[in-house]
Amino acid sequence: MTALARIRQRDWRSLTRQQLFWPLLILVALLLFNLPFTPNFFSVGVRNGHLYGSLVSILYFGTVPILVALGMTLVIATGGIDLSVGAVMAISGAIACRLISHAADQNSVSLVLEAMGLALLASLAAGLFNGLMVARAGVQPIVATLILMVAGRGIAQLITSGFILTELSKPYGVLGGYAATVPTGVFIVVGFVAVAAVLTRRTALGLLVESVGGNAEASRLAGVRAQRIKVMVYLFCALCAGVAGLWNSSSLGGADANNAGLWIELDAILAVVIGGTPLTGGRFSISGTVVGALILQTLKTTIFTIGIPAQANMVFEAVVVIIICLLQSTDFRRRVARLLRPGAARGRPVGPAGPAAPDQRPAQAAVSPESVEIPS
Amino acid sequence: MTTAKIDARPASPVPVWTRLLRDPRLPIVVTAALLVVMYAYGSYRYSFDQQVPANLLINNSYLIVAAVGATFVILTGGIDLSIGSLVGFSTVLTGLLVTKNHVPVGLAAVVVLVAGALGGLLMGCMIQYFRVPPFIATLAGLFLFRGLSLMLSKESIPINDKTVASIAQFHISLPGGAFLSVGATVALVVVALAVFVLHYTRFGRQVYAIGGNEQSALLMGLPVARTKIAVYALSGFCSALSGLVFVLYIQSGDPRAAIGMELDAIAAVVIGGTLLTGGFGYVLGSLLGVLVIGLIKTIISDEGTLSSWWIKIGTGALLLLFILLQRTVTARGTRTTR
């Protein structure tokens, strides 16, 4: 083997080991996959005074999954999980729509701001409950948030009295509509992602979150206020869900306590995992999460635009999700590599630290060194 | 008082009531007590007859079967989100086989059970061999099986088979004038079998060992891979059986049946005192958990004036109560704050 080839191989390997490599590759592949089916998939036009096109609609409908997944990322980074985001979305939308729809003048800006403020306060209260349950009471996150997941939807139905509340407020409609030809949701998402990224990557906060996720007890002994960090991430997650709930009800023009944010927790967790944040915590990637949520939204748009029959939607989605999960699994990649080159796998030393003198390896292994195990 | 004295006394024995409070079986006792209290309240207020407890079993039989499967998975420290979808899939598959293809009911039941077990087996393999987290693997299963059942049939398939109807209407008389349905009997048999498997077989001890500490179980030479995959296959089997019981209940194959049932099952397991970290819990607790949730539903529907969302809020409040109770039980010693 020439030295040049070896260098190229090393570059390729370090590239594939980049955290964002696989998610981005999948996203690009999904986008390109649309091209033969919808030739104008990448075209963006202006209609009714705002942008339109498949890409714009991915961004438009991506608001909720990206926002919720963003909050979920930090929660998962501390080794937790938040199942209550869908219920929090329903509560937040229900409160805002109830206040607005019962008011005399729905178009009053101060009313809309007040309604949104109260809705977000309620979301923060939900986040505080989750945070205290996990951090103070020490309940497992999946159980602690299961409570609000079950009860929260009941509370939302209590607020709407079981009806679908509709509102016709113009200022409220801007939130889920368009501002300066661009979907307002894009601004919200960019704002939240930027704030989260700056707070976690330009201050020590991100490191603290990761240390709590790595080992809460050890970081507490090292002087990190682990409990406070945990409460903070649940508050942030609930805030994100609350804003997503407001956007959702504004874009629909009403609150449906039964269906608002239904199954969003599953989508959000999936987006986080696809983005390369492990469910075990201790490490997170905000950009990965955004790409992960975009992958899921693109998948949904793809299913819609290439005309897969409605009843096959979920199977298609499930198959893609399984493929993505398997691609991300290092064990799977290793097994496939081993299957493809059975000869190379047999005489291979156990680990990279083993006495791997190159001249003692079987001839085939020397021919195809890419089959050598990459430790994860 | 002001001078610090070295306490030379031997460590005082733990007071009796503290010991009682810290007994890990306390949540189950409390669940049972709550069930009795709620039942007493209900019978005082709405004059329950003997058939009410039997109906509690009959109306929740499919949930009991599914909760048993969920208990096994949760005991190993995993989770199964695909339960509701697999139940829906099983009802549709039964409907298709029996109504459209005129397959004998017995054969159809066997096919459905094998399909369910295979589905669980596949998820177990994903979890064990490819290290996909159980949450994600079974989530994919949730999508896959719900999607498959929608692909098999968009609409609900009515099952007008004579055998199915006669099984569904068959009543087993109990002393005192009450009766049980076939589904309720199946549920009780499943619970009894699960108790036997968990406490009297090697497999059961392996399940507890893996839940306690998977690494230790591996080092002890227990077949961790085989047991974990078997547990998910077992949960798939229980979901399919739950689907068959559900078919008797609704007499149709509905692709939208049992949406979100996995949450009811998990809630029942938690209320029943099983730890979600695995390693501790009893199947009987899960049975009690299902009955408590079922009794809330009965009381709220008997009340009449209360809206359906109070069921959700009530279940949530009850979950909160039990979880805090579990914390006082497991809080002994200094555990991690996780």
Residue B173's beta-bridge partner residues?
B179
Residues of chain A neighbouring B329 (CB-CB closer than 8 A): none
Give the best residue of A322, A329, A376 to mutate against chain B (max B CB count within 10 A): A322
- What is the rounded CA–CA span in Å between residue A252 and residue A262? 14
Token output for B318: 């009850």
The pLDDT of residue B6: 53
A114-A115-A118-A124 Cα dihedral, nearest 10 degrees: -120
Chain A 141-180, CB below 8 Å of chain B: which residues?
A: 142-144, 146-155, 157-158, 162
Residue A274, helix vs strand vs coil: helix
Taking CA atoms, B172 is separated from A212, B54, B65, B133, in Å, by 56, 11, 19, 43
Give the domain range for residue A189.
Answer: 55-289
- What is the rounded CA–CA span in Å between residue A57 and residue A43? 12
Contact (CB<8Å) B131/A329: yes
Instruction: Measure B13 CA to nearest chain A CA, in Å.
Output: 26
The pLDDT of residue A302: 86
The pLDDT of residue A359 is above 50:
no
For residue A365, name the pLDDT band (cuts at 50, 70, 90): very low
Q: Taking Cα atoms as reference points, which of B148, B123, B135 lies closest to residue B234?
A: B123
Contacts of A134 (CB under 8 A, 6+ apart): A80, A140, A141, A144, A145, A230, A234
Q: What is the DSSP letter of A104?
A: S
The pLDDT of residue A11 is above 80:
no
Token output for B46: 């709405």
The pLDDT of residue A84 is above 90:
yes
For residue A40, name the pLDDT band (cuts at 50, 70, 90): confident
pLDDT tens-digit series, residues A238-293:
999 999 999 999 998 888 888 888 888 888 988 998 888 888 888 899 999 999 99
Token output for B118: 């295979």
Domain count, chain A: 1
The pLDDT of residue B53 is above 80:
yes
For residue B64, name the pLDDT band (cuts at 50, 70, 90): very high
Residues of chain A neighbouring B308 (CB-CB closer than 8 A): 157, 162
Contacts of B238 (CB under 8 A, 6+ apart): B65, B66, B68, B69, B70, B72, B116, B190
Percentage, residues of chain B above pLDDT 70: 91
Per-residue b or e along B236-256, where b marks 16 or more CB atoms closer than 10 Å to that residue's CB: bbbbbbbbbbbbbbbbbbbbe
Q: Taking Cα atoms as reference points, which of A236, A235, A265, A251 lies closest to residue A86?
A: A265
Fold of the B28-39+47-319 domain: ABC transporter involved in vitamin B12 uptake, BtuC (1.10.3470)
Looking at per-residue pLDDT, the higher value among A285 and B12 belongs to A285
Residue A57 identity = S
Q: A81 at the B interface (CB within 8 A)?
A: yes
Contact (CB<8Å) A322/B308: no
The pLDDT of residue B103 is above 70:
yes
Per-residue b or e along A148-170, where b marks 16 or more CB atoms closer than 10 Å to that residue's CB: bbbbbbbbbbbbbeeeebebebe
Assigned domain for A357 exists:
no
For residue B334, name the pLDDT band (cuts at 50, 70, 90): very low
Assigned domain for A250 exists:
yes
Assigned domain for A168 exists:
yes
* Minimum mean pLDDT range among A105-109, A338-342, B205-209: A338-342
The pLDDT of residue B149 is above 50:
yes
Length of chain A: 376
Asked if the ipTM is above 0.90, the reply is no
Contact (CB<8Å) A266/B142: yes
Contact (CB<8Å) B139/A270: yes
Token output for A74: 């930090």
Q: What is the mean pLDDT of residues B241-251?
A: 92
* Minimum mean pLDDT range among A37-41, A92-96, A171-175: A37-41
- Whether the Cβ atoms of residue B257 and residue B250 lie closer than 8 Å to each other: yes
Residue carrying the six token digits 């999960």: A325
Chain A 227-246, CB below 8 Å of chain B: which residues?
A: 227
Assigned domain for A1 exists:
no
- What is the rounded CA–CA span in Å between residue A15 and residue A30? 20
Assigned domain for A244 exists:
yes
Most confident option among A162-166, B19-23, B92-96: B92-96
Q: What is the mean pLDDT of residues A61-70?
A: 94
Q: What is the mean pLDDT of residues A103-119?
A: 88
Q: Which residue of B has its CA nearest to A333?
A: B130
Q: What is the mean pLDDT of residues A125-132?
A: 95
The pLDDT of residue B333: 39
Token output for A38: 């919808």
* Minimum mean pLDDT range among B118-122, B211-215, B273-277: B273-277
Taking CA atoms, A158 is separated from A83, B264, B313, in Å, by 20, 20, 9
Give the best residue of B73, B143, B263, B297 to mutate against chain A (max A CB count within 10 A): B143
Chain A 267-296, CB below 8 Å of chain B: which residues?
A: 269-270, 273, 279-280
End-to-end CA distance of chain B: 38
The pLDDT of residue A113 is above 60:
yes
Contact (CB<8Å) A273/B133: yes
pTM of the model: 0.81
Residue A321, helix vs strand vs coil: helix
Residue B42 identity = G
The pLDDT of residue B326: 67
The pLDDT of residue B123: 94
pLDDT tens-digit series, residues B296-311:
888 877 776 667 788 8
Contact (CB<8Å) A81/B309: no
The pLDDT of residue A166 is above 80:
yes
The pLDDT of residue A15 is above 80:
no
Q: Taking Cα atoms as reference points, which of B235, B198, B188 lies closest to residue B66?
A: B235
Residues of chain A neighbouring B142 (CB-CB closer than 8 A): 266
Q: Which residue of B has its CA nearest to A130?
A: B320
- What is the rounded CA–CA span in Å between residue A359 and residue B303? 82
Residue carrying the six token digits 């990206």: A66
Residue A50's beta-bridge partner residues?
A47
The pLDDT of residue A4: 66
- What is the rounded CA–CA span in Å between residue A29 and residue B112? 37
- What is the rounded CA–CA span in Å between residue B263 and residue A152? 14
Count of CB pairs separated by less than 8 Å, A with B: 148
- What is the rounded CA–CA span in Å between residue B233 and residue B203? 13
Residue B272, helix vs strand vs coil: coil
Assigned domain for A59 exists:
yes
The pLDDT of residue B232 is above 90:
yes
* Minimum mean pLDDT range among A228-232, A356-360, B19-23: A356-360
The pLDDT of residue B166: 87
- Whether the Cβ atoms of residue A146 and residue A83 lie closer than 8 Å to each other: yes
Q: What is the mean pLDDT of residues A44-60?
A: 81
Contacts of A93 (CB under 8 A, 6+ apart): A119, A156, A245, A246, A248, A249, A255, A260, A261
Residue A203, helix vs strand vs coil: coil
Assigned domain for A75 exists:
yes
Q: Which residue of B has its CA nearest to A149?
A: B316
- What is the rounded CA–CA span in Å between residue A172 and residue A97? 9
- Whether the Cβ atoms of residue B287 and residue B67 lie closer than 8 Å to each other: yes
Looking at per-residue pLDDT, the higher value among A39 and B262 belongs to B262
Taking CA atoms, A304 is separated from A296, A297, B130, in Å, by 13, 11, 31
The mean predicted confidence, pLDDT, of chain B is: 85
Q: Which residue of B has its CA nearest to A274?
A: B136
Q: What is the mean pLDDT of residues A174-188?
A: 84
Alpha carbon of residue B38 to chain centroid = 21
Taking CA atoms, A282 is separated from A72, A192, A368, B300, in Å, by 14, 22, 35, 44
Alpha carbon of residue A267 to chain centroid = 7
Token output for A156: 């939302």
Contact (CB<8Å) A325/B132: yes
